[in-house]
Structure 1
Amino acid sequence: MAAQTVEFAPETADSITAIDLGAGEGRDAVFFAEQGWDVCAADVSPNGLRKTQRLADRRGVTVQPIRADANDVSISGPVDVIYSAGAIQYIVPENRPQQFAHLKRNTAENGIHAMFAFVDHPDVPTPPDWTENEFFYAPGELLEYYDGWTVLETDRLIFDDDSGDEPHQHAAELVFARNSN
C-alpha cells in the first residue's frame, strides 16, 4: 500500500484534532467525535473503515476515514491527539524510530499521544491469533520514543483475552505523553 497523507482541517480554530491510528471498526474514533473533536480514523482495512463510517452515521457525528498503514502514514500536522490502541504493533521494528519521530513532529505544542503496545514478556506466550505482520515491543521500548516529551502516565499490564475462541494472555504497555517542546 502506498503511503497515505492524513490531512484534515478543523471546523473551528479551537477544535481538537485527533487521529485514531489503527481505528479498526471505529468505536474510539466515533467516541472522540462525540466529544466534539475533529477526528480522522486511519486504518489499513477498507471493511473496518466502512464500519467506522456506518457507526459515525448512526451516532450522528463526522469522522474522516482514511485508508493508511501505520508503517508509512504521513500526517500533515499539527494535530492535537494521536491515539493508537492495538495497532502500532504492525509498525516494523526498523521503521519505528522514523515513524515515531514523524508522529511527534506533526503533533501540536501541548498535544498528546496515547499509545498502547503489545510487549514481549517472558511469562506470556505469543498469542494464538498473532500474525506474521505483528511485532512485539521490547519492555520499555515504547517509552523510549517519548524522550524529550512530558510523560503523563505509563502502565504495564497482563490481561486475559479469548479472541479466536482460545483463551490466552497479552502483555502490554501504555504511554500517555505531551509535546512540551
Structure 2
Amino acid sequence: MMNQIAKNIYRYRKEKGFTQEKLAHSLGITHQAISKWENEQAMPDITLLPEISKILEVSIDKLLGYVSHDKPITIYEKAYETPEYYWGFQPNSDCYKVLEYIPPIRNMKLLDIGCGEGRNAVFFARNGYDVTAFDISDAGIEKTKRLADHVGVEVNVFKADLLDFRLNTHFDILFSSGVLHYINPKYQEEIFQNYKDYTTLGGMHFFNVFVQKPFIPSPPENEPNSHDWKSGKLLSYYHDWLIEASSEDIIDCDSSGVLHQHAMNRVVARKV
C-alpha cells in the first residue's frame, strides 16, 4: 500500500501543479515529510488523509489505490451480468493485425486495455501471447476468467479503472478497442506517455478510438463518462514513433439494439 500511496500523492500533486513545498504548507507540515511519502520512506498519518484528499481534489479511495464505485463507469456493466456474452466470442478484426505485425515467435507480453468479457484477450492467449488484461467491470472480469478456463488458456486478468491505472512493468504489445473514449482529456497525455514509456523497444500499440463527425448522428447509447475525440488526435500521440498504419472508417453498429454508425480512427505504431 505504501508504494501505491506514494505514487498517487506524487501523481495528484503534479496534476494540481503543486510543489512539495506548496502541498506541505497547505497541510502545515514540512516539505521533507512530503518527500519521504513520495520516496516510500514513510506514510502519511491517517488523520491527514481527509485534508490531503480535499487539497488534491481526489477521493481517499483513489489516494489509497482503490477503484471508486460511486457511479457506473460504463453502460455495459449490467449487460455483462447476464449469462450470455454481450459481444460474442469472435475477436475484434483488429486482433488479426497483431498477428500480422508482431507474431508470437518468442515470448511476447501483451496487455489488453479494457478487455470487457475477454474475447480478444482469450484469442491472443490461444495464439501464443503472454496475456495480461484489465477492465472496470467485475462481471466482465469473471466472464474473461470463465472463457479462458473453458478454452484452456491462461489470462492474467484484474480489475482496474482506466483513469487510475498506470503501468509499472514493460509490455511488447498494448491493445485496446472501443475503450479509449473513456479517458478524460486532462489525463490523455499522461496516460499515453505512461503506455509509451512502458513499451519495450520494438514493441507496438494497436489502438482505436471513436471520433466525432458532423455527418454522423450521435449514437443511441447514453454514455455519461465518454469523451469526444477528433480525427488525428490519437495519431498525434505517436509523432515520435514509427506509424505502421493509420486509418479512419465508418462502421455499422447495433450494440444498443438500434442500428447506427460510428467513425473510428485506428493507429498501429511501433517504438523504435
Same fold (TM over 0.5): yes
Structure with more of its chain in helix, by fraction: 2
Distance in 1, Cα, partners of 2:179 & 2:254:
18
> Which residue does the alignment assign to 1:97?
189
Please, which of 55, 59, 79 is the counterpart of residue 171 of structure 2? Answer: 79
Deviations 1:80-117 (A, max 9, x none): 00000011110111110000000000000011100010
Structure 1 pair 55/127, CA: closer, same or farther in 2 (3 Å)? same
Question: TM-score, normalised on structure 2?
Answer: 0.61
Q: Is 2:258 the partner of 1:171? A: no
Distance in 2, Cα, partners of 1:147 & 1:67:
31
> Which residue does the alignment assign to 2:22?
none
| More relative contact order, 1 or 2 (CA 8 Å, 6+ apart) | 1
Q: Is 2:131 the partner of 1:54? A: no
Are 1:77 and 1:108, in contact at CA under 8 Å, matched by a contact in 2?
Answer: no
Percent identity for Structure 1 against Structure 2 = 38
Q: Secondary structure at the match of 2:247?
A: strand
**AA aligned opposite 2:145:** Q
Distance in 2, Cα, partners of 1:33 & 1:26:
10
**AA aligned opposite 1:178:** R
Q: Secondary structure at the match of 1:32?
A: helix
Structure with more of its chain in strand, by fraction: 1
Please, which of 245, 248, 272 is the counterpart of residue 156 of structure 1? Answer: 248
**AA aligned opposite 1:150:** L
Aligned runs of 1:134-149 on 2, under 5 Å? 134-149=226-241
Pairwise CA distance, 1:137:
1.0
Are 1:72 and 1:99, in contact at CA under 8 Å, matched by a contact in 2?
Answer: no
Are 1:16 and 1:38, in contact at CA under 8 Å, matched by a contact in 2?
Answer: yes
**AA aligned opposite 1:36:** G
> Which residue does the alignment assign to 1:125?
217
**AA aligned opposite 1:74:** R
Q: Secondary structure at the match of 1:101?
A: helix
Question: TM-score, normalised on structure 1?
Answer: 0.91
Deviations 1:12-36 (A, max 9, x none): xx51001100100001000111111
Provide the alpha-carbon RMSD of the alignment.
Answer: 1.3
Distance in 1, Cα, partners of 2:242 & 2:145:
34
**AA aligned opposite 2:240:** G
> Which residue does the alignment assign to 1:33?
125
Distance in 1, Cα, partners of 2:189 & 2:212:
18
Distance in 2, Cα, partners of 1:59 & 1:136:
36
Please, which of 136, 141, 160 is the counterpart of residue 68 of structure 1? Answer: 160
**AA aligned opposite 1:57:** D
Pairwise CA distance, 1:72:
2.2
Which structure 2 segments of 5+ residues have no match? 1-60, 67-105
